[in-house]
Chains A and B, each alone.
Chain A
Amino acid sequence: MEGRDDRELLQAIARQDADALVALFDRYNRLAFGLAYRILGDAFVAEEVVQDAFMSIWRHAASYDLSRGTVRTWLLTIVRNRAIDQLRGRFGRSQSDVDLDTVAPLLAAPDEWDDLLSEIQASAVRAALRALPEEQRIAIELAYFEGLTHVEIAERLSIPLGTVKSRLRLGLQKLHDLLVTPGVRSESGASDGT
């Protein structure tokens, strides 16, 4: 099972091979959970989001076109979108959030995610974000991790809408120049078989 790359796993999942989905889960659950938790700040809701994302892949694997992106990118996009949906839908909810630190890391599930690759990409993204002017970084993070529209970002930061647009555009352009152009692409995953 461990020998199959992501593309082969997806093909097996499309044939409703449950072992293949579990193998994909073992490979990426920590990455997916880290993203969901960063967005939601609630370990239980983050776990639900990750579960739903994997079930979505289970149900739609047969119709996914790999030319649109890697399996990993697809998974993380689903996780991000669902987490943002949860976040935006639960504003005003009573405070019942559970801090991740209180949830048993002792009972952690196995994860075969390629730590080295993950670390390279994470450090490259962090370095690129640090290289951005702070106002551009904040605008991108508010949109990506909090799901704010550019109008909401303008309100949050008390700046004109046009300024938000240009900060997002310039920030993203710089991110692209720093990350994608040198070849640190999300499609470069060793497990993706691409």
Chain B
Amino acid sequence: MTGGIEHDQGHVGDLIAAYVLDALDPEELELVERHLEDCPQCQAAVIEARAAIDLMAYLPDPQPVPLRARHRLLARLHADAASTPEAAPIRLRSRLGWLAAAVAAVLALAFAWQSLQSQAEVQEREAQVRELEQRGQVLTQFVNNRPQGFVMPIESTVAAPGARGGIILDPTSNAALVMIEGLPRLPTGQAYVVWLVDGDRYINAGVLPVDDQGRGELYLTPQEALSTFTGIAITVETGALASSPNGQPVAQATIGR
């Protein structure tokens, strides 16, 4: 290791260990990065130090990951694919794709909502998993009979940057399911309200119930045809019965074709 390079010789050898450990203060970080631009000797020392630091990642024992993690990753991959510009034409490429995305999303969110804190709950969860698998089959059948269905990603605003989710729409039965996670916890007296949007017109579609993990879902069966709306919006309101949105918008989705 090129540890002999010393700071007082114009090099930054005494800071390189802290540099690769991200342990420098901003001023020193800037000093080191500026120096590294023109010093092959210190660049080589950084590479050597990093090789040692990279191995620290192997110190902890590998740990088993809950099975839901794999389901959730699949759901996120589908959601990500749905939100790319290529997939922007609302309908997913194939009905099969939509089926997989919808079932995976519902199952993943449902799995994620399970909270395990005791052995008794492990057993309860296993029963819930079986129930959810059945629910997935039911959903598959539900979706299979509705070839007009489609999924749209929900986009968050700066007020809730961690929020993500989607809305499954079935124009045939005029029903939709909003699923979202990553919503900040609200103070008492405030609620998330879902709005159906048609230009400047906002229809209160109901309060989105959100659990303490920031996840919520709302089944919509509006009186008016879904096809008359261009999108949905989710805002924070102080009154659940508000007739128009007054609070901070946290997420939105386009649903019009």
Q: Give residues in A with beta carbon < 8 Å to B.
A: 16, 18, 21-22, 25-26, 29-31, 33-35, 37-38, 43, 47, 50-51, 54-55, 58-59, 69, 73, 76-77, 79-81, 84, 98, 100, 102-111, 113, 115, 118, 121-122, 124-126, 128-129, 140, 143-145, 147-151, 153, 164-166, 168-173, 175-177, 179-180, 184-186
Given contacts A107-B68, A149-B23, A172-B1, contact A58 B77 (CB under 8 A): yes
8 further A-B pairs in the complex, CB-CB below 8 A; given A47-B69, A98-B117, A180-B1: A25-B70, A33-B69, A79-B57, A84-B22, A107-B129, A111-B62, A122-B59, A149-B23
Say yes or no: A55 contacts B76, CB within 8 Å.
yes
Distance in Å: Cβ of A80 to nearest Cβ of chain B: 6
Say yes or no: B55 contacts A125, CB within 8 Å.
yes
Say yes or no: A177 contacts B1, CB within 8 Å.
yes
Majority SS at the chain A contact face = helix
Residues of B within 8 A of A122 (CB): 58-59, 61
Residues of B within 8 A of A164 (CB): 18
Say yes or no: A172 contacts B17, CB within 8 Å.
yes
Say yes or no: A73 contacts B54, CB within 8 Å.
yes
Given contacts A55-B80, A140-B21, contact A107 B54 (CB under 8 A): no
Of B45-53, B217-225, B235-243, B245-253, which stretch is located at the interface?
B45-53
Whether, in the assembled complex, B118 has its beta carbon less than 8 Å from a beta carbon of chain A, the answer is yes
Say yes or no: A150 contacts B23, CB within 8 Å.
yes
**What per-residue 1/0 map shows which CB atoms of B56-79 lie under 8 Å from chain A?**
111111111111111011101110
Within the assembled complex, what's the spacing in Å between the Cα atoms of A26 and B64? 11
Distance in Å: Cβ of A72 to nearest Cβ of chain B: 9
Whether, in the assembled complex, B116 has its beta carbon less than 8 Å from a beta carbon of chain A, the answer is yes
Whether, in the assembled complex, B8 has its beta carbon less than 8 Å from a beta carbon of chain A, the answer is no
Within the assembled complex, what's the spacing in Å between the Cα atoms of A167 and B159? 43
Report the nearest B residue to A73, measured CB to CB: B54
Within the assembled complex, what's the spacing in Å between the Cα atoms of A61 and B128? 36
Name B118-151 residues within 8 Å CB distance of A. 118, 122, 125-126, 129
Distance in Å: Cβ of B3 to nearest Cβ of chain A: 4
Say yes or no: A176 contacts B49, CB within 8 Å.
yes
